Amino acid sequence: MNGIEYHIIEIIYGSSNDRRKGGIEVRKVAIVRGGLAKFGVRKATYKELAQEAGNAVFDDIPNLDKKDVDSLFLGSAGPDRFAFQCYPAPLVAEQVGVQPRNLIMRTELACASGQAAMRAAYASIAAGLSDIALVMGVEKMNTPNLAEAQTTMAAVMDREWDGVNGMSAPPFFAMIMQRHMYEYGTTREQIAKVSVKNHDNSASNPFAQFQQRFTIDDVIKSVEISKPIRLLDCSGITDGAAGIVMTTEEKAKEFTDTPVYIEGLGQCNMGSLVSNLPSLTTWESLKVAFRNALDMAGKGIMDMSFAEVHDCFTISEIVIYEDSGMCEKGQGGKHIEDGNPYVGGKLPVNTHGGLLGTGHPLGATSIAQTVEVIEQFRGEVPEERYVGGEWALTHNLSGNANVHSVLVMRRGG
Amino acid sequence: MAKIELPYLLDFCTLQTEDFTRIHTFFDNLKEGRLTTTKCMKCGEILWQPRTVCPHCNADEMEWIDLPQEGKLFAFTEVIYGAPLGMEQDAPFSIGLVELENQPMSVLARIDDAHYEDLEVGQEMKLKIITLEDGRVWFRWVHKK
Ligand SMILES: [Zn+2]
């Protein structure tokens, strides 16, 4: 907003899909299977959550020998603060019993730390640096003092110039909600429908923090957090962990009859400081990330069977409908009112319950979205939220919506 | 040196003297009632927040310019729950993004003496400079009238 020129055109044409057009040979990357530790306020430590998710992953891939895992990518946003633990990657490797010998790293991209780990694994496998990678996301956010977690979240913003003003995730997205209602006439009831829909979906998800249904009235009368945002407009402060195994197309066939291929990747960052963002209500970097990921896959947004997107707050999902091209700008409220993002609608969004329903353990969030994609493709979700199909995407935003990350996935086998 | 009550790594307000930051002039000026920032002496870009190197042309020579202390409210919220350590006792408090008068720039700050219901897009706001107990300074917005 500060008259900064963002190089929107330049970024689009310098996109990741040029690599394909240029014919550079890379290996095709597949996701084998995944597993979760239950999300919620857990009576378990950071390391114990990692063990649970590791246990679930290796249980699901019985013929994978842990010795053959050559790389570990760990998405974890803030263990340094939340769990008073720096340098968590070797710690998690020891907990789950792998000895990475090709690549080991922890990736940090706030709310998209898990997708950052997947993208690093993709790059490493595609380039031939890794063959079999364990990709995990672990976050322990709940401590006896909630203000400590809030302090860490506020430090995701530019601490000296935004955080210092009390700016954090809820107030930031509250300003977006305030502006969206002002600019487009979006109603409080329309926005609340996102929470109702996603909690309806998470009600049948055993790994979700919230297996409970709510009404529009419940949402718009829930406790005020940062006006106009209320408690049921917010995703949870969540402990959780998730893991997947990623490998080459060839190797994946040894472990599963339904590999999931990563066919498109798009990511874009514009700005950092709140006052320097291109806009509050139009997310330019989201448009670039979606376009690049979908172009790389040769698909359009409405070709997806379903989409798991970053509903950290109800208003986020409304803006995502619009800027991803699911509907016209300003029509996000009407889009959900018309039934489009529900299971059975034009393009179901957040079939697993989203972040609103399942919780948001930052580093684990994106991996859990991916587990939903795998299980949808395999037909392993309850009937009431089954979509299936062949194409899906996952999306994460991070920080003050200045970075957007998108993965387009295809069912193999 | 500033007195710190919270451990340094839990204190959102940065250290402001020349021992700790190369933009200490911002805080020195703020103490004198001036809201200032840096302007690149090579390409002329006005930068927020103040910088030591221009992100546009990479020059490292800056001049300090005064910014308007009035503007119009663009977006706002009121924090009820979930304020970080050191700010819990202040809640509820409002935060707003204000578009400066005659300057294509927005500045985020807390808004004093106003609840959410008192705020509207386009309202005239003016800067208020506050001094912390330990002598550090910061700024907030208040209604102009
Ligand atoms: Zn310059």
* pLDDT in the model for residue B6: 77
In a domain? residue B9: no
In a domain? residue B88: yes
Read off the pLDDT of residues A355-366 as tens digits, 9 standing for 90 and up. 999 999 999 999
Over residues B131-135, the mean pLDDT reads 93
Tokens of A134: 């364990």
Read off the pLDDT of residues A33-90 as tens digits, 9 standing for 90 and up. 999 999 999 999 999 999 999 999 999 999 999 999 999 999 999 999 999 999 999 9
Ligand 1: centre distance to CA A361 (Å): 40
In a domain? residue B2: no
Q: Is B78 found in the same domain as B63?
A: no
Q: Is B37 found in the same domain as B92?
A: no
Confidence band of A235 (pLDDT split at 50, 70, 90): very high
Q: Is B81 found in the same domain as B55?
A: no
Q: Is B91 found in the same domain as B143?
A: yes
What lies within 8 Å, CB to CB, of A40 at 6+ separation is A209, A236, A238, A239, A240, A359
A147 touches chain B (CB under 8 A): yes
Q: Is B136 found in the same domain as B77?
A: yes
Helix (H) or strand (E) holding A190: helix A188-202
CA distance A92 to B131: 45
Residues of A forming the active site? 111, 360
Helix (H) or strand (E) holding A316: helix A314-323
Tokens of A40: 């919620």
Provide the number of CB pairs (under 8 Å) joining chain A to chain B. Answer: 113
CA distance A63 to B123: 65
Q: Nearest chain A residue to B84 by CA: give it.
A: A151
The answer to whether the CB of A135 falls within 8 A of the CB of A71 is: no
* pLDDT in the model for residue B9: 84
* pLDDT in the model for residue A14: 45
In a domain? residue B1: no
| Residue from the list B78, B90, B109 with its beta carbon closest to the beta carbon of A227 | B78
Q: Is B75 found in the same domain as B142?
A: yes
Q: Is B145 found in the same domain as B76?
A: yes
Which amino acid is it at A131?
D
Which amino acid is it at B6?
L
Q: Is B72 found in the same domain as B62?
A: no
Q: Is B136 found in the same domain as B81?
A: yes
Sign of CA dihedral A224, A225, A227, A232: negative
The answer to whether the CB of A50 falls within 8 A of the CB of A137 is: no
Q: Is B82 found in the same domain as B27?
A: no
Q: Is B75 found in the same domain as B140?
A: yes
CA distance A367 to B79: 31
Q: Is B31 found in the same domain as B75?
A: no
Which amino acid is it at A214?
F
Q: Is the pLDDT of residue A5 over 70?
A: no
Task: Tell me how close the Cα of A155 comes to any Cα of chain B, in angstroms.
Answer: 8
Read off the pLDDT of residues A274-316 as tens digits, 9 standing for 90 and up. 999 999 999 999 999 999 999 999 999 999 999 999 999 999 9
* pLDDT in the model for residue B73: 98
Read off the pLDDT of residues B68-95 as tens digits, 9 standing for 90 and up. 999 999 999 999 999 999 999 999 999 9
The rounded mean pLDDT for chain A is: 95
* pLDDT in the model for residue A96: 98
Confidence band of A18 (pLDDT split at 50, 70, 90): low
Which amino acid is it at A141?
M
Determine whether the interchain pair B77/A175 forms a contact, defined as Cβ–Cβ distance below 8 Å: yes
A185 burial level (CB within 10 Å; 0-12, 13-18, 19+): exposed
| Residue indicated by tokens 């957040």 | A350
CATH number at residue B84: 2.40.50
Q: Which residues of B touch A179 (CB under 8 A)?
A: 74-75, 121
A1-15, A24-38, A107-121: range with lowest mean pLDDT: A1-15
Domain that holds residue B31: 14-67
Antiparallel, parallel or unpaired: β A391-398 and A403-411: antiparallel
Q: State the Rg of chain B over Cα.
A: 16
Chain B, residues 31-60, CB within 8 A of chain A, namely 48-49
CA distance A31 to A248: 8
In a domain? residue B5: no
Over residues A188-202, the mean pLDDT reads 98
Tokens of A302: 């409405």
**How large is the ipTM?**
0.96
> Which of the two residues, A413 and B140, has the higher pLDDT score?
B140
Closest alpha carbon to B27 in B142, B138, B144 = B138
In a domain? residue B4: no
From the CB of residue A305, how many other CB atoms can be counted at a distance below 10 Å? 18
User: Between helices A314-323 and A188-202, what is the axis angle to 10°?
Assistant: 100
* pLDDT in the model for residue A25: 80
Find the length of chain B. Answer: 145
Task: Tell me how close the Cα of B145 comes to any Cα of chain A, in angstroms.
Answer: 22
Q: Which domains does chain A have, with CATH numbers?
A: 3-143+239-252 (3.40.47.10)
Over residues A162-188, the mean pLDDT reads 98
In a domain? residue B6: no
CA distance B96 to B109: 6
Q: Is the pLDDT of residue A213 over 50?
A: yes
B37 forms beta bridges with B65
* pLDDT in the model for residue A9: 42
Task: Tell me how close the Cα of A26 comes to any Cα of chain B, in angstroms.
Answer: 34
B139 touches chain A (CB under 8 A): no
Domain count, chain B: 2
A224 touches chain B (CB under 8 A): yes
